[in-house]
Amino acid sequence: MKTARKKRKFEWGYLLLLPGLGYILFFLAGATGMMIAQSFGLFNYTAESRFSLEYWRGILNETFVDDLLYSLKIAVCASLLCICIAYPLALIIKKLPGERTILSLVKIPMFIPALVASLLILNIIDYHGILNIILVRLQIIEEPLRLRNDSWGVAALLIQAWKNIPFMLIIMYSAVEAVRRDVIDAARNLGAGRLAVFTQIIVPLTLPSALVSVILVFIRVFNDYVISKTAGPLYPNTISNLMHVTAYLYNDWPSAACIGCLMVITAVSFVSAYTYLSKKLMQNL
């Protein structure tokens, strides 16, 4: 009898999630359902609404493939660059005096809008920016570098790193700080050096947070629109820019919905594969 009452109370407890979780799921399901329906020609705002596969056949072209590969490239490179900087930075900040103040200052880029951040950094790395002026006067280079809208996406990568390193640093600093001091002291008492402590204690304990932070930054960069629009190459560009151009410039909303569906499928597939490989890596440590 007591078990039945506990079960009934537990089931009623799910209703407490409805105000927050229900709101999110309702709009998520509605937006996703509308996007899928539009990709097949239904709810078409600019033409006759009828079921058709022509939009899916038309969207799988060279431009889409190039933009998709570029989006994956810039997202993967930005994620790896951010973790390579944020991880050691978190370890260094933890040992510095006034670590809380330093951490607060490092968080400043998070409060700057992406468009503002992009324009600020472009003023530094542009053809007549501060960086090129210094390099030319020091005679390191003969003529200014063209980093803005370059074909390799260097400018976009630098801005993405500047914008996302503080976000990743918060996660990594919390993970590093959570490593218990007595565990490290015990390892040193047993003869472990600094390298052994780092590779055998700190890395295994903080690796889950590092893996999570990498995938979060990957999703943020993969879905980016503003930074790649202002600083990225003219062609190819991110898949988000292709979706925007298709919908607003060509007024082809069903094809834009197809691009949105493929973005979701790509992101989910990448995250699923990454999660699977991460679990395998954790099991081997």
The pLDDT tens digits of the residues spanning 11-40 come to 666 777 777 777 788 888 888 888 888 888
Evaluate if residue 9 carries a pLDDT over 70.
Answer: no
pLDDT of residue 144 exceeding 60, the answer is yes
> Do the Cβ atoms of 246 and 256 come closer than 8 Å?
yes
Decide if pLDDT at 79 tops 90: yes
Tokens of residue 193, six digits: 């050096």
* pTM for this predicted structure: 0.82
pLDDT of 11 reads 66
Q: Residue 64 above 60 pLDDT?
A: yes
Q: Which residues of 114-141 are buried (b: 16+ CB within 10 A; e: fewer)?
A: beebbeebbeebbeebeebeeeeeeeee
**Model confidence at 83: pLDDT above 60:** yes
Give residue-wise pLDDT tens across range 253-278: 888 899 999 998 988 898 888 888 88
Top mean pLDDT of 26-35, 78-87, 191-200 is at 78-87
Give CATH for domain 36-113+160-284.
1.10.3720.10
pLDDT band for position 1 (cuts 50, 70, 90): very low
Residue 4 pLDDT exceeds 90:
no
Tally of CB atoms within 10 A around 80: 14
- pLDDT above 90 covers what percent of the chain? 15
170-194: average pLDDT: 83
8 Å CB contact between 165 and 86: yes
How confident is the model at residue 41, as a pLDDT?
85
Average pLDDT value for residue range 59-84? 90
Packed helices 203-222 and 62-95: angle between N→C axes, nearest 10 degrees: 140
| Average confidence score pLDDT of the chain | 85
